[in-house]
Amino acid sequence: MNHFLIAPVVLPALVAPFIIMVVRYHLDLTRIFSLASTVMLVAISLVLATQAASGEVQVYELGNWSAPFGIVLVLDRLSAMMVLLTSVLALVVNLYVIGSGWDKRGANFHALFQFQLMGIIGAFLTGDAFNLFVFFEVLLIASYGLMIHSGGTRRFQAGVQYVVYNLLGSTLFLFALGTLYAVTGTLNMADLAVRVAEIPPEDTALLRVGAVMLLLVFAIKAAVIPLHFWLPASYANAPLPVAALFAIMTKVGAYAILRMYTLVFGPDLAITEGLAGAWLMPAALVTLMLGAIGILGSYRIGRLVAFGAITSMGTLLTAIALFSPEGVAAALYYTLHSTLAAAFLFLVADLVSERQGIEITAQRLMPQSGLIAVLFFTGAIALAGMPPLSGFLGKLLVLDAARDHDLVWWTWGVILVGSLVTILGMARAGSLLFWKSHSITAETDPTAPQPYEEEANEQEEETEDTSTAALPFVACFALLSGLILLTIFAGPASHYAEATAAQLFQPEIYIKAVLGKVTP
Amino acid sequence: MTMGFLNIEFLVASAVGLLTAAGIYLILRRRTFPVILGLSLLTYGVNIFLFATGRLMVDAPPVLNKYAEVPYTDPLPQALVLTAIVISFGMTAVVVMIALAAYLSARDDKIDMPHHPEDEGEDA
């Protein structure tokens, strides 16, 4: 048994309490430990990714209880890719947070950050449905803390909505798991797959109810219409660097859909045949369009990027809903791209809102306006999926994969029109923020910049020196270079995605690795 | 343990149904306090539901007896429900604290966000 497999869960789980209990009053020490932990996470997940790239599915049996009796962690290509993506994103966000001083504005940022990573990585690795619920709760409870980090009236109000919505999601998750357990008598994903396939179709009414409830739960996470209402308000009112980390959280929902509906309720399964795809596809297309319209209508920069995240989730889920190897491969490539792109834009949005507040209006020229404008427009190009960045390739892959689908014209039409509306929306926001500002001087400025929280005002004087520090820009450029690398190495990346998709559509490999000899 | 229609399955099923219905009614209210109460009722409902997923057995231990063929009840749902209780308890505490912070800072416990103060003039 490869004990290395549990390292990315254990490491943050140990570092977080250490930060709380031992070094909580020493800002520098918390930063050092948090940063060291995220750097080590990147190293660990690189090792895991190279191990998984061979195509072997590794299983870690917790407490050496063999599946299906104990909980297992499973590392296949998909989990390894998602863990690597999470840890890279975490490192960049951590650098940004330290550079911009966001972690000074409230207590225990880094401990919550580590717990959040533990939950996300655990959710990607686990091979047990109830354990997936537990890791969901770990990542959620950490995200509640991060979301209301540094406080403020609006942030608390948005926090209440976010928590209530997610508690409802958790309750629904429990109902779904209870239903599945009542029918199958197991919660191990591989064992579920075996037993679900054995149940005679006439006895599966409850099972199908469970499958649909589970899809709803993951759709809440992935912010699919009509369950997306929590996202814009939460992400826009969370500290924007935290929202950048949250860019991976919607992907947890997409990952769970991909995992459960290829492994347990696969596209070939008679009882739920095409159920997920048939419902998901129209919902994903509407999500995409609504996200694009939201971008066009946003008057605050946080909401602008939050709707950008929604539209990229729409594209991603459109590709997943095809439930074909090509579609999933495109979805995986697009996952890498859209996570980096959304996080990048959230960081740029924070650069803007730190300098001139959250409104998208023309104000006096902010410091480093030129540099931030370049970053913003690059991010907009990436998000909208224009050449030369990886968003273009990702969307091209999605369009290509949809070629044989029944709804091909709808898919193509919505993706292309959605991209156009996204471009318009981003161009409008960018022109207002960066170009129109050139015509406003200190004398003609109708409203002096008004940071929207009183607290932010006081903080600003303290953090004046750090707002020009280089580290936030280093973080932004790191994400940008990630996008550029993803474009240059699109060949290897999409080959890996294809291999991952091929592995997902051969669930017997996964089942055999987990259950070993127990398979009938 | 059947007493006409008042058997244990009927009682547990109606308890789950009642708690869920009351919970859903309450979470549709406009203020945070009933919403949180509704969430608690929902989690009670789901906990009982989870407990029943291993089938309802009366007077049976959740352990296998290797000396005699005696009835036993499924222990796994009990472990699941214990986890769910702990998590929902913790989550309720968190949501109460956040709701309290929102109420104290906004002097208002409506669950939907009011418009931004700066917008109000424009909207009116």
- The number of beta carbons lying within 10 Å of the beta carbon of residue B1 is 10
Alpha-carbon radius of gyration of chain B: 21
Report chain A residues whose CB lies below 8 A from the CB of B113: 154, 157-158, 161, 233
Query: B112 exposed, middle or buried (CB, 10 Å; 0-12, 13-18, 19+)?
Result: exposed
Report chain A residues whose CB lies below 8 A from the CB of B114: 157
Q: Which helix (H) or strand (E) holds A284?
A: helix A275-297
Q: What is the ipTM of this complex?
A: 0.90
**Token duo for residue B116:** 């931004």
Cβ within 8 Å, pair B105-A152? yes
- Dihedral, CA atoms, A223, A226, A231, A234, nearest 10 degrees? -140
Report chain B residues whose CB lies below 8 A from the CB of A168: 27, 39, 42
Report the C-alpha gap between A221 and A218 in whole angstroms.
5
Q: Which helix (H) or strand (E) holds A61?
A: strand A58-61
Cβ within 8 Å, pair A181-B80? yes
* Beta-bridge partners for A59: A74
Report the C-alpha gap between A455 and A104 in whole angstroms.
13
Only one residue has tokens 């902010």, namely A366
Report the C-alpha gap between A497 and A332 in whole angstroms.
6
3-state secondary structure (DSSP) of residue A393? helix
B63 contacts chain A (CB < 8 A): no
In tens digits, chain A (520 residues) has pLDDT values of 688 899 999 999 999 999 999 988 888 999 999 999 999 999 999 999 999 988 889 999 988 888 788 899 999 999 999 999 999 999 999 999 999 888 888 888 999 999 999 999 999 999 999 999 999 999 999 999 999 988 888 899 999 999 999 999 999 999 999 999 999 989 999 999 999 888 888 888 888 899 999 999 999 999 998 888 889 889 999 999 999 999 999 999 999 999 999 988 887 777 777 777 788 899 999 999 999 999 998 889 999 999 999 999 999 999 999 889 999 999 999 999 999 999 999 999 999 888 888 888 877 777 788 888 999 999 999 999 888 889 899 999 999 999 888 888 999 999 999 999 999 999 999 988 888 887 876 555 555 555 454 444 444 444 444 455 788 899 999 999 999 999 999 999 999 999 999 999 998 889 999 988 544 4
Calculate the CA A62 to chain-centre distance: 26
Q: Which of A159, A161, A174 sits opposite B50 (nearest CB)?
A: A174
Non-local CB neighbours of A466 within 8 Å, separated by 6+ positions: A99, A100, A101
Half-sphere exposure of A230 (CA within 13 A, CB side): 24
- CA nearest to A163, candidates B109, B42, B93: B93
- CA nearest to A317, candidates A272, A275, A287: A287
Our separate counts of H helices and E strands in chain B read: 4, 0
pTM: 0.91
Instruction: Report which DSSP code applies to B116.
Output: P
B44 contacts chain A (CB < 8 A): no
- A94, A242 Cβ separation under 8 angstroms: no
Report the C-alpha gap between A500 and A82 in whole angstroms.
11
- A74, A59 Cβ separation under 8 angstroms: yes
Q: Measured between alpha carbons, how far is residue A268 from residues A90, A144, A370 in Å?
A: 36, 38, 53
Q: Which of A160, A174, A187 sits opposite B32 (nearest CB)?
A: A160
Alpha helix positions (H), B28-52? 32-52
Query: B117 exposed, middle or buried (CB, 10 Å; 0-12, 13-18, 19+)?
Result: exposed
**Token duo for residue A335:** 């996952």
What sign does the CA torsion over A163, A226, B81, A254 have? negative
- The number of beta carbons lying within 10 Å of the beta carbon of residue B47 is 21
Report the C-alpha gap between A12 and B20 in whole angstroms.
36
